[in-house]
Amino acid sequence: MGLSILVTVAFIGSLVEGQKDVQKAKSLYKGVRLGSISHYHPLTKNARGTCHMFPEPPSGKNGVWGSVALPNVGGNTFANGKTCGMCIEAIATHTNPKGGVPGPNKKEYPPKGKVLRLFVNNACADCYYKNQLDVSVKPYNQKGLFKTWWRAVDCNPGKAGVQIIFDDASSVHYIGVQPRNMPMPAIKTEYWHRNAKKWFNLKWKAGFFQIKTSQIPGKWPKNLIKPPLKLRITSLKGEKKIINAMKIIKGRKPVPVKPKVQFKRMTAPPKKGTCKNVPVKKKKRCGNKGTGQFACKLLKCCYSAKGKGPKCYKKVKK
C-alpha cells in the first residue's frame, strides 16, 4: 500500500472517529442518565485539567457548583475532548450505586436531592463506573460514590460574548486557541491566513486548537501568524461564527475580539407552566414510562406518585 493511500486512510479514519465523538457528546443532552458522583482534587494553575479551562469562563461559574471530569475510559463520555466546556445538571442521593452507604462522614456528602450544575473541565482516567461524574472539590477530603441522575444542559455565558484565550507559548510561529464562554462546547476552530488566502483547520490538543507556521504554505515571513486573527468557530450544535482576535495575550486572559458574538442554545429553554391541579386528561408524559422523581426534576417536569395518569408529566399553561 502506497504512502499516500495510508495517509488518506488515516485521515478518513480520524474524521470518522471525530464524528463519533461529536455524536457521543450530543447524546448527553438526550434524556437523563443514571450514574454516580465521586470526588477528586481541586484544579489549580499547576493542575488545570485536560480541558485547560481553569480559571473558568463565566459559563463555567454562573450557577455552577463545581468542575467535573468525565471518564475517558469505559463508556468514554468525555468523548475525546468534545465535551470540554459543557455544563451538566445532576441530582445526587446519599446512597452508593450498589445500595450501600458511601462513607461515615455525612458532612462530606454532596447536597441531597438538589439540582447541581457542573462544568466539564477534565477527563478521568480511572472512572470505570457507568456514567460516573468525578467532581473537583475543595478541600479535597470527600470520599465515597453517590448514586446520581444527570444530563447535559446549556451553560449560562451571561451577557458576555464568546471569549478567546491563547496558549502561553503562542507567537507569530505557533498559536493555541481556546474558544470559551459558550452555551456548549466548541468542536472546531479554523484560521484564515491572509497571505495563503485559505482556511486552516486547527487540531485540538491539550485544551487548545493549534497550528504552526510549518503547516502554512509559503516562505518566511509570509507564513507568519500575525494578528488580528480571523477565526471561524463551530459549536457542538453545528453553528458557525467568525470573529477576529485582535491580539495575542499571554497569561490565559481573554483577548479583545470583534465583533461580539454568541451561539444559540443546544436545547430549547424549559417551558413555563404549572404543576398544580392538572386534570388527568391534560397530563402529557414527560420522559419515558419509568421516569422517576429525580429524573423528572432534571427534565423540568411535574411529578406525582399518586393519582391517575403518568407520574412524570409536562407542565401546563396557567
Domains of the chain by range and CATH?
10-153 (2.40.40.10), 163-258 (2.60.40.760), 270-318 (4.10.110)
pLDDT in tens, 199-248: 999 999 999 999 999 999 999 999 999 999 999 999 999 999 999 999 99
User: What is the percentage of the chain residues whose pLDDT exceeds 70?
Assistant: 91
Rounded Cα distance between 118 and 90, Å, is 8
Q: Return the pLDDT at 101.
A: 64
Scored b (16 or more CB within 10 A) or e, 170-205 reads: beeebbbbbbbbbbbbbbbbbbebeeeeeebebebe
- Say if residue 3's pLDDT is above 60: no
pLDDT in tens, 100-133: 666 667 777 888 999 999 999 999 999 988 899 9
- Say if residue 27's pLDDT is above 80: yes
Q: Return the pLDDT at 247.
A: 97
